[in-house]
Chains A and B, each alone.
Chain A
Amino acid sequence: SAVISQKPSRDICQRGTSLTIQCQVDSQVTMMFWYRQQPGQSLTLIATANQGSEATYESGFVIDKFPISRPNLTFSTLTVSNMSPEDSSIYLCSVGTGGGQPQHFGDGTRLSIL
Protein backbone atom coordinates (compact mmCIF):
# COMPACT_ATOMS: atom_id res chain seq x y z
CA SER A 1 0.00 0.00 0.00
CA ALA A 2 1.03 3.63 -0.46
CA VAL A 3 3.27 5.32 2.09
CA ILE A 4 1.67 8.55 3.27
CA SER A 5 3.60 11.30 5.03
CA GLN A 6 1.62 13.95 6.84
CA LYS A 7 3.18 17.08 8.32
CA PRO A 8 3.20 18.47 10.91
CA SER A 9 2.35 15.64 13.28
CA ARG A 10 1.12 18.11 15.87
CA ASP A 11 0.98 21.82 16.49
CA ILE A 12 -0.28 24.29 19.02
CA CYS A 13 -1.60 27.48 17.47
CA GLN A 14 -2.98 30.80 18.54
CA ARG A 15 -6.57 31.79 17.97
CA GLY A 16 -7.09 33.63 14.68
CA THR A 17 -4.06 32.18 12.90
CA SER A 18 -3.94 29.66 10.05
CA LEU A 19 -2.06 26.39 9.64
CA THR A 20 -1.34 24.40 6.50
CA ILE A 21 -1.09 20.62 6.74
CA GLN A 22 0.74 18.70 4.05
CA CYS A 23 0.07 15.20 2.76
CA GLN A 24 2.66 13.51 0.54
CA VAL A 25 2.22 10.08 -1.05
CA ASP A 26 5.03 7.95 -2.44
CA SER A 27 3.04 6.99 -5.55
CA GLN A 28 0.40 8.53 -7.76
CA VAL A 29 -3.11 8.09 -6.41
CA THR A 30 -6.47 8.83 -7.89
CA MET A 31 -8.25 10.16 -4.85
CA MET A 32 -7.14 12.10 -1.79
CA PHE A 33 -9.41 12.96 1.11
CA TRP A 34 -9.25 15.11 4.23
CA TYR A 35 -11.02 14.03 7.43
CA ARG A 36 -11.48 15.67 10.80
CA GLN A 37 -11.65 13.77 14.08
CA GLN A 38 -12.80 15.92 16.96
CA PRO A 39 -11.76 14.84 20.48
CA GLY A 40 -13.31 11.49 21.38
CA GLN A 41 -15.30 11.42 18.15
CA SER A 42 -15.36 9.54 14.89
CA LEU A 43 -13.98 10.72 11.56
CA THR A 44 -15.92 13.12 9.37
CA LEU A 45 -15.01 13.88 5.78
CA ILE A 46 -14.13 17.52 5.15
CA ALA A 47 -13.55 17.34 1.42
CA THR A 48 -12.26 15.37 -1.52
CA ALA A 49 -9.11 16.88 -3.01
CA ASN A 50 -9.37 16.84 -6.79
CA GLN A 51 -6.25 17.09 -8.90
CA GLY A 52 -6.38 20.14 -11.16
CA SER A 53 -9.73 21.43 -9.93
CA GLU A 54 -11.46 22.74 -6.85
CA ALA A 55 -12.00 20.42 -3.93
CA THR A 56 -15.45 18.97 -3.29
CA TYR A 57 -16.64 19.94 0.19
CA GLU A 58 -19.06 18.09 2.42
CA SER A 59 -22.02 19.76 4.01
CA GLY A 60 -20.90 21.98 6.88
CA PHE A 61 -17.43 22.65 5.51
CA VAL A 62 -16.55 25.63 3.33
CA ILE A 63 -13.61 26.59 1.18
CA ASP A 64 -12.93 29.84 3.01
CA LYS A 65 -12.38 27.97 6.26
CA PHE A 66 -10.63 24.88 4.84
CA PRO A 67 -8.91 25.74 1.56
CA ILE A 68 -7.40 22.69 -0.12
CA SER A 69 -4.82 22.38 -2.85
CA ARG A 70 -3.90 19.38 -4.94
CA PRO A 71 -1.29 20.39 -7.50
CA ASN A 72 -0.45 16.83 -8.60
CA LEU A 73 -1.29 13.17 -8.01
CA THR A 74 1.02 12.76 -5.01
CA PHE A 75 0.51 15.87 -2.89
CA SER A 76 -2.23 17.85 -1.18
CA THR A 77 -2.53 20.51 1.47
CA LEU A 78 -5.31 21.46 3.87
CA THR A 79 -5.31 24.88 5.49
CA VAL A 80 -7.29 25.52 8.65
CA SER A 81 -7.99 29.25 8.57
CA ASN A 82 -8.80 31.77 11.28
CA MET A 83 -8.60 29.06 13.91
CA SER A 84 -10.70 28.93 17.06
CA PRO A 85 -10.64 26.43 19.95
CA GLU A 86 -13.44 24.50 18.20
CA ASP A 87 -10.96 23.60 15.47
CA SER A 88 -8.88 21.57 17.93
CA SER A 89 -8.96 18.13 16.31
CA ILE A 90 -6.96 15.49 14.56
CA TYR A 91 -6.83 16.07 10.83
CA LEU A 92 -6.12 13.06 8.63
CA CYS A 93 -5.48 12.68 4.95
CA SER A 94 -6.28 9.46 3.15
CA VAL A 95 -5.69 8.14 -0.33
CA GLY A 96 -7.51 5.75 -2.60
CA THR A 97 -6.61 4.01 -5.83
CA GLY A 98 -10.10 3.05 -6.93
CA GLY A 99 -11.55 -0.32 -7.75
CA GLY A 100 -12.90 -0.87 -4.27
CA GLN A 101 -9.50 -0.84 -2.67
CA PRO A 102 -9.53 0.52 0.89
CA GLN A 103 -8.41 4.00 1.76
CA HIS A 104 -5.11 4.30 3.55
CA PHE A 105 -4.46 7.04 6.04
CA GLY A 106 -1.63 9.29 7.05
CA ASP A 107 -0.63 9.44 10.71
CA GLY A 108 -2.72 12.54 11.30
CA THR A 109 -2.03 16.03 12.57
CA ARG A 110 -3.07 16.79 16.14
CA LEU A 111 -4.00 20.46 16.26
CA SER A 112 -4.62 22.40 19.46
CA ILE A 113 -5.76 26.01 19.46
CA LEU A 114 -5.23 28.18 22.51
Chain B
Amino acid sequence: AQTVTQSQPEMSVQEAETVTLSCTYDTSENNYYLFWYKQPPSRQMILVIRQEAYKQQNATENRFSVNFQKAAKSFSLKISDSQLGDTAMYFCAFTLNYGGATNKLIFGTGTLLAVQP
Protein backbone atom coordinates (compact mmCIF):
# COMPACT_ATOMS: atom_id res chain seq x y z
CA ALA B 1 0.00 0.00 0.00
CA GLN B 2 1.10 3.52 -0.72
CA THR B 3 1.38 6.16 1.98
CA VAL B 4 2.15 9.88 1.97
CA THR B 5 3.60 11.68 4.99
CA GLN B 6 3.77 15.39 5.66
CA SER B 7 5.64 15.98 8.91
CA GLN B 8 4.99 19.72 9.23
CA PRO B 9 1.42 20.40 10.40
CA GLU B 10 1.93 24.16 10.30
CA MET B 11 4.48 26.59 8.90
CA SER B 12 4.85 30.33 8.78
CA VAL B 13 6.82 32.55 6.41
CA GLN B 14 7.27 36.26 5.92
CA GLU B 15 5.98 37.82 2.75
CA ALA B 16 8.60 37.78 -0.07
CA GLU B 17 10.66 35.07 1.61
CA THR B 18 11.12 31.43 0.60
CA VAL B 19 9.63 28.42 2.31
CA THR B 20 9.97 24.67 1.77
CA LEU B 21 7.26 22.15 2.59
CA SER B 22 8.29 18.54 3.11
CA CYS B 23 6.67 15.36 1.84
CA THR B 24 7.79 11.76 1.86
CA TYR B 25 6.00 8.79 0.42
CA ASP B 26 6.26 5.04 0.41
CA THR B 27 5.62 2.74 -2.52
CA SER B 28 7.07 -0.37 -4.07
CA GLU B 29 5.98 0.79 -7.51
CA ASN B 30 8.27 2.48 -9.97
CA ASN B 31 5.81 4.35 -12.16
CA TYR B 32 3.73 7.06 -10.52
CA TYR B 33 2.94 10.75 -10.31
CA LEU B 34 3.25 13.20 -7.46
CA PHE B 35 1.30 16.40 -6.95
CA TRP B 36 1.01 19.35 -4.66
CA TYR B 37 -2.46 20.81 -4.18
CA LYS B 38 -3.38 23.90 -2.19
CA GLN B 39 -6.65 24.43 -0.39
CA PRO B 40 -7.34 28.02 0.68
CA PRO B 41 -10.11 28.81 3.17
CA SER B 42 -12.57 28.76 0.26
CA ARG B 43 -11.92 24.96 0.37
CA GLN B 44 -11.35 24.65 -3.38
CA MET B 45 -8.57 22.18 -4.21
CA ILE B 46 -6.14 23.83 -6.60
CA LEU B 47 -3.35 22.02 -8.40
CA VAL B 48 0.02 23.65 -7.73
CA ILE B 49 2.50 21.38 -9.46
CA ARG B 50 2.91 17.89 -10.91
CA GLN B 51 5.93 15.59 -11.14
CA GLU B 52 6.29 12.44 -13.19
CA ALA B 53 8.37 9.81 -11.42
CA TYR B 54 10.26 8.78 -14.53
CA LYS B 55 11.51 12.33 -15.09
CA GLN B 56 14.63 13.28 -13.19
CA GLN B 57 14.19 16.97 -13.85
CA ASN B 58 12.38 18.80 -11.08
CA ALA B 59 9.09 20.42 -12.05
CA THR B 60 8.74 24.21 -11.89
CA GLU B 61 5.69 26.45 -12.14
CA ASN B 62 6.54 30.13 -11.75
CA ARG B 63 7.33 30.68 -8.03
CA PHE B 64 6.72 27.01 -7.20
CA SER B 65 9.31 24.29 -7.64
CA VAL B 66 9.89 20.81 -6.30
CA ASN B 67 12.87 18.84 -5.13
CA PHE B 68 12.12 15.29 -6.20
CA GLN B 69 14.46 12.66 -4.77
CA LYS B 70 13.17 9.33 -6.06
CA ALA B 71 15.61 7.11 -4.19
CA ALA B 72 14.82 8.85 -0.94
CA LYS B 73 11.09 8.97 -1.78
CA SER B 74 11.03 12.64 -1.02
CA PHE B 75 9.03 15.36 -2.77
CA SER B 76 9.37 18.81 -1.23
CA LEU B 77 7.73 22.01 -2.45
CA LYS B 78 9.59 25.30 -2.51
CA ILE B 79 7.65 28.54 -2.68
CA SER B 80 9.74 31.56 -3.61
CA ASP B 81 8.77 35.20 -3.06
CA SER B 82 5.87 34.17 -0.84
CA GLN B 83 2.67 36.16 -1.24
CA LEU B 84 -0.27 36.65 1.09
CA GLY B 85 -2.42 34.69 -1.35
CA ASP B 86 -0.24 31.64 -0.79
CA THR B 87 -1.79 31.23 2.65
CA ALA B 88 -3.53 27.84 2.46
CA MET B 89 -3.40 24.21 3.41
CA TYR B 90 -0.98 22.35 1.15
CA PHE B 91 -1.46 18.67 0.39
CA CYS B 92 1.07 16.33 -1.13
CA ALA B 93 -0.55 13.56 -3.19
CA PHE B 94 0.49 10.37 -4.95
CA THR B 95 -1.09 8.35 -7.73
CA LEU B 96 0.02 5.27 -9.58
CA ASN B 97 0.57 5.37 -13.32
CA TYR B 98 -0.87 2.29 -14.96
CA GLY B 99 -3.24 1.55 -17.78
CA GLY B 100 -3.23 5.13 -18.99
CA ALA B 101 -6.14 5.80 -16.66
CA THR B 102 -6.61 8.37 -13.94
CA ASN B 103 -6.11 6.52 -10.69
CA LYS B 104 -7.03 7.45 -7.17
CA LEU B 105 -5.07 10.06 -5.27
CA ILE B 106 -3.55 9.29 -1.90
CA PHE B 107 -3.11 12.44 0.14
CA GLY B 108 -0.83 13.42 2.97
CA THR B 109 -2.23 15.05 6.09
CA GLY B 110 -1.44 18.54 4.90
CA THR B 111 0.68 21.51 5.97
CA LEU B 112 -1.04 24.74 6.92
CA LEU B 113 1.06 27.60 5.55
CA ALA B 114 0.57 31.13 6.86
CA VAL B 115 2.24 33.98 4.99
CA GLN B 116 2.78 36.92 7.32
CA PRO B 117 2.77 40.54 6.06
Q: Which residues of A contact B (CB under 8 A)?
A: 30-31, 33, 35, 41-45, 48, 58, 90, 92, 94-105, 107-108, 110
Cross-interface CB contact of A45 among B37, B45, B104, B108, cutoff 8 Å: B104
The chain B residue sitting closest to A105, CB to CB, is B45
Residue pair A97, B102 in contact (C-beta under 8 Å): yes
A104 CA / B44 CA spacing, docked (Å): 10
Known A-B contacts A100-B33, A102-B35; A30 and B102 likewise in contact (beta carbons under 8 Å): yes
* Cβ–Cβ < 8 Å partners of A97 in chain B: 102
Q: Is A107 touching B43 in the complex (CB atoms < 8 A)?
A: yes
Q: Are A100 and B42 in contact (CB under 8 A)?
A: no
A100 to B42, CA, bound (A): 27
User: Between A and B, how many residue pairs show CB distances below 8 Å?
Assistant: 56
**Interface size counted on chain B using CB atoms at 8 A:** 22
Closest to B106 in A: A45
- Is B45 within 8 A of A96, CB to CB? no
* Nearest-neighbor residue (CB-CB) of B99 within chain A: A98
Please judge, given known A-B contacts A100-B97, A102-B35, whether A33 and B43 are in contact too, CB under 8 Å.
Answer: no
Interface centre among B37, B52, B91, B101 (most CB of A within 10 A): B101
Give the docked Cα–Cα distance between A100 and B50 (Å): 10
B52 adjacent to A42 (CB under 8 Å) = no
Q: Which of the residues A35, A42, A94 comes within 8 Å of B108, measured between beta carbons?
A: A42
Residues on A with beta carbons closer than 8 Å to the beta carbon of B110: 42
With contact pairs A104-B47, A105-B45, A110-B43 given, residues A43 and B91 touching in the complex (Cβ less than 8 Å): yes
